[in-house]
Amino acid sequence: MKKRIFALILTLCCLLALAVPAMAAYSPEEQLEILYETDELIRQYCLDSSRLDDPLGRALGEELTDEELLQRLTDDPQLYDTLMTRMLSAYDSHTMYIPAGVYGDAFYSTGDYVGFGITIQPDAEGVRVAALHPEGGAAEAGIRWNDVITHVNGIPLAGLTVAAASQVMTGEEDSVAQLTVLRGEETFTVSAQRKTLTTVSYFGTEVEENIFYMKLSAFTSDDGSYAMFQRDLKKLNARDCLILDLRDNPGGDMDLACKIISDLLPGKQSYFRTAVRNPLTDTLEYTYLTSDGGGKKLKAVYILVNENSASASEIVTASLTDAGVAVAIGEPTYGKARGQYHIVLEDDSAIVLTVIKLMSIKRGDYEEIGLEPDIVAHDVLLPTQYVIEIPTDVALAPYSCSDNGTALNRALVALGYLPAMPDKPYQVGDATLDALSRLRDDLGLTAAEIPDGASLPMLAAINLLLDYMGQGFALQDTCLYEAVAHCREILGR
């Protein structure tokens, strides 16, 4: 019996692949063994293959003995990659060969970094904390989401770009820095340690009372993201609304996706359908996936999706919307309704083999079609060259009319807080005042921090947002605004 080059430990992975360059790997003798084993894998597991399939023979185009093929591999260093590519590219678009040394960069992965464990945004007083790593030194020091860090070891951060502020905050592992923090009107200093942390694919926060936001960048089981998701989910109850953001999520571990579905399905029920090929009969065998019945019952669940929400993201979206416990908001999804085995070799090459067909119970096979959202909303980039910077030398009184009012309304349109310019574009009217109130709420600020209406602090904050969201454009996060608006309506606000 031939020595096996790689162990047949198969992990089902529902992930959207990226393009990768080609490079060579392994000795000719090892290459020969891998070619034969790959041929066997395809015939046994590939969804579109069969017992009578001949992947290697078809890739060669002629019959060769082991000795002849070994000599060809010795003489031509590129032949191995060519044959692997030919064998695996003969099936669906997801089945492929990933050449040596690039698998880790070809698919979503998390990485380590040294820091305080915060994601920052610019602020007039320094940098604002947009997200916190739960194991980071900043969280351990008591820093909260939306705090403003004004100084690091006495060095002011006001006026710095995010990149420049990050440079000031950089330091060696285990080093400690003094962070000056502004929280509302209170200023204090804490000692925070820089640690080696793993970038996680989860972030969660409370948007406002009874409305929670959770974002999954990928379904990754080895970065602690699922434990964080469960921790935050435990805080929610039947009075709470959840916004689950799966935009730009390429997929990942199918088992993890199924766990999250069960966590959000309050009753035991079948939520999805799969099919695999029986290698003995070459027929498809269908299975229904069923929740464990222990899921959390919430007031409402909204799932945000776009064209880059793929694979495991689509399983979650289809399952929860089919079950009637969630509403999808955004754009049609990618349309990847096939699951793969990822067999990663020692040289960081990989065989990606489609082995399972994924089907929505209500919508069936959505491969290359995608899932239509229940509510269509498009996040768009609006050119900010049409937005005049708002003068901050005078506050704007309610219902006042001026060129400054026109600039204010243009800014609110660019930021997504007004759908269009008001009938009286120069007036600080009811629509403008309502938009300013919602903006302040979304910033997590109180009336003591930013007074009602078009106050000077509010105008300064808007100018800062335009600068931050800029590079010539402002992102209008229509999907999130739409979800929050529906949550508020359900909650009777």
pLDDT of residue 162: 61
Task: Give 266-305 pLDDT, tens digit per residue.
Answer: 989 999 999 999 999 999 999 999 999 999 999 999 999 9
How would DSSP label each residue in 135-152? TSHHHHTT--TT-EEEEE
Tell me the pLDDT tens digit for each residue of 291-348. Answer: 999 999 999 999 999 988 989 999 999 999 999 999 999 999 999 999 988 888 888 7
Helices 79-88, 28-45: crossing angle, 10 deg rounding: 0
pLDDT digits (tens, 9 = 90+) for 182-214: 988 899 999 999 988 877 788 888 888 999 999
DSSP 8-state assignment for residue 263: H
Name the least confident of 34-43, 462-471, 479-488. Answer: 462-471
24-38 pLDDT, tens digit per residue, is: 468 899 999 999 999
Task: State the chain's maximal CA–CA distance in angstroms.
Answer: 88
Q: Do 432 and 414 meet the contact criterion of CB atoms below 8 Å apart?
A: no
Question: 412: pLDDT confidence band, cut at 50, 70 and 90?
Answer: confident
**Distance between CA 4 and CA 16 in Å, rounded?**
29
pLDDT at 87: 95
CA dist., res. 314 & res. 360, Å (int): 9
Does the pLDDT of residue 16 top 80, yes or no?
A: no
Greater model confidence, 451 or 181: 181
Dihedral sign, Cα of residue 245, residue 250, residue 253, residue 254: positive
Considering the domain 112-198, what is its CATH architecture?
A: Roll (2.30)
Alpha-carbon gap, residue 243 to 374, rounded angstroms: 14
Residue with tokens 């017992």: 51
Handedness of CA 38, 89, 333, 199 (dihedral sign): positive
| Sign of the CA dihedral with 182 first, then 188, 194, and 198 last | negative
**3-state SS string for 266-328:** CCCCEEEEEEEEECCCCEEEEEEEECCCCCCCCCEEEEEECCCCCCHHHHHHHHHHHCCCCEE
Contact assessment for residue 390 and residue 463, using Cβ atoms and an 8 Å cutoff: yes
Domains 112-198 and 202-337+361-376 share a fold: no
Q: Does the pLDDT of residue 12 top 60, yes or no?
A: no
- The residue that leads in pLDDT, 369 or 109, is 369
Name the percent of the chain in helix, strand, coil, to the closest 5. 30, 25, 45
* Class of residue 403 by CB neighbours under 10 A (exposed 0-12, middle 13-18, buried 19+): exposed
Structure confidence at residue 105 as a pLDDT band (50, 70, 90): very low
What dotted CATH number matches 202-337+361-376?
A: 3.90.226.10
Across all residues in the chain, what is the average pLDDT?
Answer: 84
| Dist. CA 152–CA 154, nearest whole Å | 5
Tally the residues of the chain. 493
- For residue 94, the 8-state DSSP code is T
* Residue from 188, 263, 173, 197 nearest 227 by CA: 263
Q: How far is CA 277 from CA 287, 290, 339, 368, 457, in A?
A: 12, 20, 12, 20, 63
* Sequence ranges of the domains in the chain: 12-106, 112-198, 202-337+361-376, 380-476
Q: Could you tell me which residues are beta bridge partners of residue 396?
A: 454
Per-residue pLDDT tens digits for 116-130? 988 776 677 888 786
Q: Which pair of tokens denotes residue 36?
A: 């034969």
Residue 111 has pLDDT above 70, yes or no: no
Indicate if the pLDDT at residue 386 is higher than 60: no
Q: For residue 255, what pLDDT band results from cuts at 50, 70 and 90?
A: very high
Q: Tell me what pLDDT residue 125 has.
A: 85
pLDDT band at 20 (very low <50, low <70, confident <90, very high): very low
Indicate whether 475 pLDDT > 60. no
List, as one string, the DSSP characters of 376-432. Answer: E---EEEEGGGSPPPP-SS-B-TT-BSHHHHHHHHHHHHTTSSSS--SSTTB--HHH
- Nearest of 256, 257, 264 to residue 236 by alpha carbon: 264
Predicted local distance difference test score (pLDDT) of residue 297: 95
Is residue 1 pLDDT above 60, yes or no?
no
For the cut 60, the answer to whether the pLDDT of residue 108 exceeds it is no
Q: Give mean pLDDT, residues 249-265.
A: 92
Residue range 44-76, pLDDT digits in tens:
999 999 999 999 999 999 999 999 999 999 999
Q: What is the pLDDT of residue 78?
A: 92
| Stated pTM of the model | 0.65
Q: When comparing pLDDT for 413 and 29, which is higher? A: 29
Amino acid code (one letter) for 74: T
Predicted confidence at residue 413, as pLDDT, reads: 79
CB-based burial label for 109 (10 Å; 0-12, 13-18, 19+): middle
Q: Residue 42: is its pLDDT beyond 50? A: yes
Which H/E stretch holds residue 86? helix 79-88
* H-run or E-run covering 78: none
pLDDT: which is higher, 24 or 422:
422
> Which pLDDT does position 388 carry in this prediction?
56
